[in-house]
Amino acid sequence: MNEDAVIKLAQEGNREALKLLFEENKKKIFSLAYQYTKNAEDAEDILQEAFIKAYRSLHRFNIKNGNSFSPWLCRIGINCSIDHLRRNKIRKEKDMIVNNMENLTSYDADSNPENTSAQREIREKIDQTLNKLSGQQKIIFILRHYQQLTTGEIAEYLNCSEGSVKRQLFRAVSAMKVHLKGLILENKYEMQKI
């Protein structure tokens, strides 16, 4: 069954169609929310909130306009993530850092402890810098570098122009370079000495 047929059934209240849409999209929305919150429980809450909002708004989703369900749902997930961060702004930045760096950084468990420590330090600095970016820059950086979406796909997800995506991405990457400049050069030098 194609996506349009599943959406039409879901709009008519078919529970199996709703479940199918949920199953097909839950990993993407969870991952997106996790990149924002760095907390699995919060990401799970955002996932649930996004699907509840999508369910309530599903009758307004127009298949005939050539809209795709996944970008529509991602926009809802992004908005829920931003709302969640606004509600929890009091949280300290350290709570936003991932507790288990092994999940986000690929390195060998038997690698040199100094290299592992350096990678962890870089990962933490990236997370800290991400938290300093504007909401738009942060989500664009996450969608591009963590989700590997093209600028065209990001523009569709965020309902904006590719030029806007490119500008925000450039600003985000520039901020990353400034904040990571000394750290990366220092670590490269240390690795060359070994």
CB-based burial of residue 29 (10 Å sphere; 0-12 exposed, 13-18 middle, 19+ buried)? buried
pTM of the model: 0.54
Instruction: Using pLDDT thresholds of 50, 70 and 90, give the confidence band for residue 101.
Output: very low
* Mean pLDDT for all residues in the chain: 77
Domain count, the chain: 2
Task: State whether 103 and 62 are in the same domain.
Answer: no
Question: CB neighbours of 152 closer than 8 A, spacing ≥ 6?
Answer: 162
Closest CA to 50 of 91, 21, 8, 79: 79
The answer for residues whose C-beta is within 8 angstroms of residue 122's C-beta and 6 or more apart is: 180, 183, 184, 187
Tell me how far the alpha carbon of residue 194 is from its chain's centroid.
36
Q: What is the CATH number of the domain that holds 27?
A: 1.10.1740.10
Q: Do 109 and 194 share a domain, yes or no?
A: yes
Domain of residue 156 covers: 98-194
Task: Examine the domain organization and report whether 114 and 192 are in the same domain.
Answer: yes
Residues 173 and 193 in one domain: yes
Residue 183 confidence (pLDDT): 65
Which pLDDT belongs to residue 50? 93
As a residue count, the chain comes to: 194
The span from the CA of 184 to the CA of 186, in Å, is 5
Q: Are residues 116 and 58 in the same domain?
A: no
pLDDT tens digits for 115-161? 567 777 777 888 888 888 888 888 888 888 877 788 888 888 788 88
pLDDT band at 182 (very low <50, low <70, confident <90, very high): low
What pLDDT was estimated at residue 115? 59
Rounded Cα distance between 163 and 106, Å, is 32
- Out of 91, 114, 136, a domain closes at 91
Cα Rg of the chain, angstroms: 19
Judge whether 121 and 135 are in contact, CB under 8 Å: no
190, two tokens:
């240390």
